[in-house]
Structures are given as C-alpha cells and as structure tokens.
Amino acid sequence: MSGYSRLDEASRIASRFLPERDVFDVFEVVGMSLRAAVGQGVALADVSATTERYLIQESLSIRYGIPIPAVVVDAEDPLPTSVFPVMPGGSDTPDDLPYNGVTLAAAARGRLARDVERAGASTVDLAPEDARRHVRSRLARFLERRLAAQEKAADPSAPGLPFRVMTRGSGLRIHWSPAYFFEPGHVFAFGLSTPVDGWLAPGRYIFGAVGPTQPLEWEFNATYDLPNAQVANLLRL
C-alpha cells in the first residue's frame, strides 16, 4: 500500500468516527464507526473511546455556548483539547454536580492556559465545526501510522509496541496523549524517569512529565510516530 493510499484509507476511517454531518446520537455514531473499522481488521477500541469523549465535549460546548480551546502547534493543525469533565461510562456532566458546566469548563481552561504557557505555546478558541475538522485531520494522520503497523504484521498478542521515554530530570511521572485530541490524564507505564519503558499502540503521540516539585509540562511540538519511533527524548523536561 502506498503512502498516499494509506493516508486516504486512514482519512476514510477518521470520517466514520467524526462524520461531516451533525451528530445527534453520539453513541450510535461511534458504535457504527467502530463496527465498520473492526470489520476491516484494524484495532481501534482506543480511537472509539477517545472520539466518543471528543463528541461529548463538542455537544457540551454547543450546549453551553463555549468555544473549544486548541493548542497552537508549529506547522500543524491546532490541537483541540478536553475542558469538560466526562463521567464514567461516557455520560454528560450531571446537573447535580456542585458546579455547572460553565464553571467546570472555565477552571479547566485556566489549567490548560497555565500548562500551555509553561510549554511556551499558545491557545486559540475554535467553533465546534472547526474543532471537529482539526480532530478529524489529526486522527487521519494517527490512523495512517496504525495502518502502517498493521501491514508489518506485529504480534497480535502484544499489548502494543515497546516504547521508551527519556527526560532530562529524574523521578518524573510521564504522561501521554494521542496527537489528535489532547487529554492530559493518561499516565505512561506508571514508572518514574529516567528512562521509563512501556507499551503504546501504533499512532502519533505527545508526552509530558510531572514531578514532586515540577508541575505537569508538555512538549506540544514534539510528536512521536509509532511504529517508526521507539524513544521519546523530552530534552526540555
């Protein structure tokens, strides 16, 4: 499969998860998308879960009239981010929480602004339709790497691909996010640097690190493509 045809196929899969039309039933759309993708023999449970959370974010953004913030990344589409809390099982923020959705989103946007400022980056507010377009475009590039790994016939019993993260400092906990929708809560391998060895499914990722005296910091402009990359060197952290 040529590079062009692989990206074309990845774009088609991404469009199934994030269609052009408005989504009225998030879970129906994601369920149909996952069934279609699995039918092609591609492991996409992680993509299904992440795009489901994104679509909930989008619906909450529309409900509360709040734009979706995105990190401005060099030479790439802006990276949309998660700002609304999503409850276990994927349900929307319940009305009986002590704070309403607007207050929760404002607090999350404040944390995001601080994280991005520490990284020397900036944010931009996106309308929901623009955010979805950027997530879809980034997801296609993520899936291109997933398809490339599938062609190499990796061991299906493995939990992913072996990956190592190196940091300048020591004793840091490593966080990761897929490079199509920024979710900072994923912890890599549950070990402390440096190095930290673990597993990741094929795709495109960004990394951050946090320590006892260091707030969580990210390298937004350093994207790592698996299966090609095997090590992330977080030289600034």
Characterize the bridge pairing of strands 231-234 and 161-167: parallel
User: Which pLDDT does position 116 carry in this prediction?
Assistant: 87
Q: Which residues of 83-117 are buried (b: 16+ CB within 10 A; e: fewer)?
A: bbbbeeeeebbeeeeeeebeebbeebbeebeebbe
205 token code pair: 């990722």
- Determine the pLDDT at residue 38: 54
Over the stretch 66-87, which tens digit does the pLDDT of each residue have? 899 999 988 789 999 988 765 4
Q: Are 82 and 93 in contact (CB under 8 A)?
A: no
Q: Is the torsion defined by CA of 72, 75, 78, 79 positive or negative?
A: negative
CA distance 50 to 184: 12
pLDDT at 203 over 50: yes
More confident site: 120 or 167: 167
Model pLDDT, residue 21: 62
Q: What is the pLDDT of residues 82-100, one digit of tens each?
A: 887 654 344 444 444 444 6
Average confidence (pLDDT) over 33-49: 70
Provide the CA 2 distance to its chain's centre, in angstroms. 26
Does pLDDT of 31 surpass 80? no
Total count of residues recorded for the chain: 237
Range from 24-33, 98-107, 131-140 carrying the lowest mean pLDDT: 24-33
pLDDT band at 105 (very low <50, low <70, confident <90, very high): confident
What is the pLDDT at residue 88? 39
User: DSSP code of 155?
Assistant: -
pLDDT at 25: 54
State the pairing for strand pair 173-178/186-192: antiparallel
Region for residue 156 given its phi and psi (left: phi exceeds 0; alpha: psi -120 to 50; beta: otherwise): alpha
Cα 228 to the chain's mean position, in Å?
19
What pLDDT score was predicted for residue 81?
Answer: 92
Residue 96 pLDDT = 43
Q: Give the CATH class of 161-234.
A: mainly beta
SS3 203: strand
Tokens 């069934």 correspond to what residue? 35
**pLDDT band, very low/low/confident/very high, at 5 (cuts 50, 70, 90):** confident
Task: Sketch the domain layout of the chain as residue ranges.
Answer: 161-234
- Whether the CB-CB separation of 167 and 193 falls below 8 Å is answered with yes
Contact status, residue 33 vs residue 16, Cβ threshold 8 Å: yes
List pLDDT tens digits, range 140-149.
999 999 998 8
Which comes out higher in pLDDT, residue 52 or 29?
A: 52
pLDDT per residue as tens digits for the range 161-199: 999 999 999 999 999 999 999 998 899 998 899 999 999
